[in-house]
Structure 1
C-alpha cells in the first residue's frame, strides 16, 4: 500500500553530488549524461550545503532573472567591447558550481512517508527532494517521477 511506503523505499540511490569548486562544465556534463535535473552540492565532509539545478543553468545561459547587478555588468561589458560580450558575460557569471548554486536545497529524511514527500514536492514547487541521513549527507533523491512510479506499481494493493 502506497500510504505505508517511505522515501527510503522509492528514492534513487546513490545520489551524484558536486562540491562548490567543481568546474561548472563538469556539473553540466553530469546532469546531461545521467538525465537528471539537479545535483546536491556538498562540503568537504559530504554534508549538503546547496543545490545546482537545470533552472540555475538556464538562468545563467539566458540571462533571465540574473538580477540588476549582472544586468549592469552586462551593459558595461557590452559597451567596453561588444565583440567579446558573450565570452566576458560568461566569465562574470562564473565557472564553478559555487557561483551558481543555490543554498536553499529541498530536503527530507529517509523515514518520511511517501504521501508527505509528494505533498512537499507539490507545495514547494520543486522537482526533487534530497534525502539526508542523520549527518545531513545526501544518501538519495526522490523526484516527482519516483512518486508517480510508486503510485503506479502499488495501485490496488
Structure 2
C-alpha cells in the first residue's frame, strides 16, 4: 500500500497568522490532535499538535544561575527558557508551530511511513507533492485501520 491509499485527503490546515484560540477550537470541533500550517501556496511550513497547545499552559522553569562581578552566568540552558517563554506568550500559529516538518510523498510505501513515524516519535505526518504542497495527512490510526 502507498501513502495515497491510506491518507486523509480532506485535511484541515491553518495559516501562520491563525490565532491559537481558533486552532484550539478546530481541534475541539473536529476531534483532531494536530493540523499542518501552510503558506499561501499550500506548502507545509509547520505543524501544530495538541501537545504544543498544552505546552503553552505549562509552568516555566527558570534556569539556575550565579551572579559574578555584576553579571549573570546561567548554569542551565537559557535557550530552553527562551523557547518556553515564546510558547507561553504565543498568539498565532507561527509562534507555536514546529517548523521543519517531516513529510512523506503520496507514492511512499505504508511501511516507510510507519517506520518514519515510529523512529521520529510522531503521531501524524503530512503527505506532500514535489513542491511540498499539502495533499493529505496520515496519522497512526490510518495505519492501524489499513493493516487491520
The question of a shared fold, defined as TM-score above 0.5 by the shorter chain, is answered with: yes
TM-score (norm 1): 0.76
Equivalenced residues, count: 131
1:108-156 Cα distance to aligned partner (Å, 9 max, x none): 000000111111111110001100022211111111111011010xxxx
In 1, are the aligned partners of 2:52 and 2:97 still within 8 Å (CA)? yes
Cα distance between partner residues in 2 of 1:129 and 1:30: 18
For structure 1, the 5+ residue unaligned runs are 74-88, 153-157
Residue in structure 2 matched with residue 27 of structure 1 by the alignment? 23
Shift of 1:59: 0.6
Cα distance between partner residues in 2 of 1:100 and 1:63: 16
TM-score (norm 2): 0.80
Residue in structure 1 matched with residue 131 of structure 2 by the alignment? 135
Shift of 1:8: 0.3
Structure 2 residue 135 is the aligned partner of structure 1 residue 125: no
Shift of 1:70: 6.4
In 2, are the aligned partners of 1:118 and 1:147 still within 8 Å (CA)? yes
Structure 2 residue 116 is the aligned partner of structure 1 residue 146: no
Residue in structure 2 matched with residue 67 of structure 1 by the alignment? 80
Residue in structure 2 matched with residue 96 of structure 1 by the alignment? 92
Cα distance between partner residues in 2 of 1:70 and 1:26: 22
Cα 1:64–1:141 shift into 2, 3 Å: farther
Q: How does 1:33-48 map to 2 (within 5 A)?
A: 33-48=29-44
Structure with the largest fraction of strand = 2
Structure 2 residue 50 is the aligned partner of structure 1 residue 54: yes
